[in-house]
Amino acid sequence: MKTIRLGALSLGAIFLSFVSLGRADSKTSSELTKAVAILHPTQGNQVKGMISFTKSSEGIWVVADIEGLTPGKHGFHIHEKGSCDSVDGSSAGGHFNPHQMPHAAPNDAQRHEGDLGNVMANEKGVAHLEYIDSKISLNGDDSIIGRSVILHAQEDDFKTQPTGNAGARIACGVIEVSE
- For 124-166, the pLDDT digits (tens) are 999 999 999 999 999 999 999 999 999 999 998 888 787 778 8
Contact at 8 Å (CB) between 154 and 128?
Answer: no
112 classed as catalytic: yes
Answer yes or no: do 14 and 88 share one domain.
no
Answer yes or no: do 7 and 68 share one domain.
no
Q: Which residue has the higher pLDDT, 45 or 158?
A: 45
Sort 65 into a burial class: Cβ within 10 Å, 0-12 / 13-18 / 19+: middle
List the catalytic residue out of 111, 115, 147, 156: 115
Could you read off the pLDDT of 82-125 as tens digits, one per residue? 999 999 999 999 999 899 888 877 887 878 788 899 999 999 99
Contact at 8 Å (CB) between 37 and 49?
Answer: no
77 classed as catalytic: yes
79 classed as catalytic: yes
pTM: predicted TM-score of the whole model, two decimal places: 0.81
CA distances from 10 to 5, 6, 14, 17, 18 (A): 8, 6, 6, 11, 13
The parent domain of residue 119 ranges over 34-177
Answer yes or no: do 87 and 11 share one domain.
no
Answer yes or no: do 76 and 125 share one domain.
yes
99 classed as catalytic: no
From 145, 172, 170, 151, select the one nearest 83 (Cα to Cα).
172
List the catalytic residue out of 111, 112, 133, 147: 112
115 classed as catalytic: yes
Calculate the CA 60 to chain-centre distance. 9
Answer yes or no: do 6 and 94 share one domain.
no
Sort 144 into a burial class: Cβ within 10 Å, 0-12 / 13-18 / 19+: buried
Answer yes or no: do 40 and 108 share one domain.
yes
